[in-house]
Amino acid sequence: MAGKFISFEGIDGSGKSTQSALLADALSATGHDVVRTREPGGSPGAEDIRRLLVEGDPGRWSAETEILLFTAARRDHLERLIEPALTEGKLVISDRFADSTRVYQGATRGDLRGMVDDLHARMIGREPDLTLVIDMDPTQALSRGLARDSGEDRFEDFGLSFQQKLRAGFLSLTKDFGTRVHVINGDQSQDRVATDVLEVVKAHMS
């Protein structure tokens, strides 16, 4: 039995990890075998690559180098964690996947989307079954994100106009992947967002 693969996407601080945890709890409580994971990271090798990407100066890597590093991390995550779990019939929930590379690397510092898509086709070659984009105002999300003081703020440090470009990029994913990508209003209480998420997931599963 093949499992299901659900991803959460959105700008920094929009509430993805909060919502992926709430969804994992709700689905586990109804008997699903859930594996919750994240990108960049999710496997030991990919977590090593994560540290190179999320710490340090914004200009530490070019967008082109980032495409290679994020894709290398994703390939390891896919081989070691996602594909084995799906083969065992599990439900995988990932905080970010390839749509983040399409938007963060493909559409913010020049038009590199073709390069992202080519590498994705050669090295990854799969999409989630369902993607939930948590959408909200970047000003508020940025202050939520930076308030965490996680030391992983390299992308937040690109500033507000970068986050505004990201928001537009995530919203435009519905044009390319209409049936897979659903936009959720993240500017509500955590419980209201979770209810909206669960509604979309249940509709998809039935």
Residues within window 87-146 making contact with ligand TYD, judged by CB under 6 A: 95-96, 100-101, 104-105, 145
77 binds ligand TYD (CB under 6 A): no
37 binds ligand TYD (CB under 6 A): no
User: Among ligand ADP, ligand TYD, none, what does residue 144 contact (CB within 5–8 Å per kind)?
Assistant: ligand ADP
CA gyration radius for the chain? Answer: 16
- The size of the interface with ligand TYD (CB under 6 A), counted in residues, is 17
CB of 140 to ligand ADP, least distance (A): 9
Backbone angles phi, psi at 59, to 5 degrees: -85, 10
Distance between CA 101 and CA 107 in Å, rounded?
9
CB of 11 to ligand TYD, least distance (A): 7
Backbone angles phi, psi at 115, to 5 degrees: -65, -45
7 binds ligand ADP (CB under 6 A): no
Closest by Cα among 201, 206, 151, 194 to 15: 194
| Cβ proximity to ligand ADP, 12 vs 76, nearer residue | 12
165 binds ligand TYD (CB under 6 A): no
| Cβ proximity to ligand ADP, 18 vs 164, nearer residue | 18
| CA distance readout (Å), 87 to 5, 40, 74, 101, 131 | 11, 22, 18, 25, 20
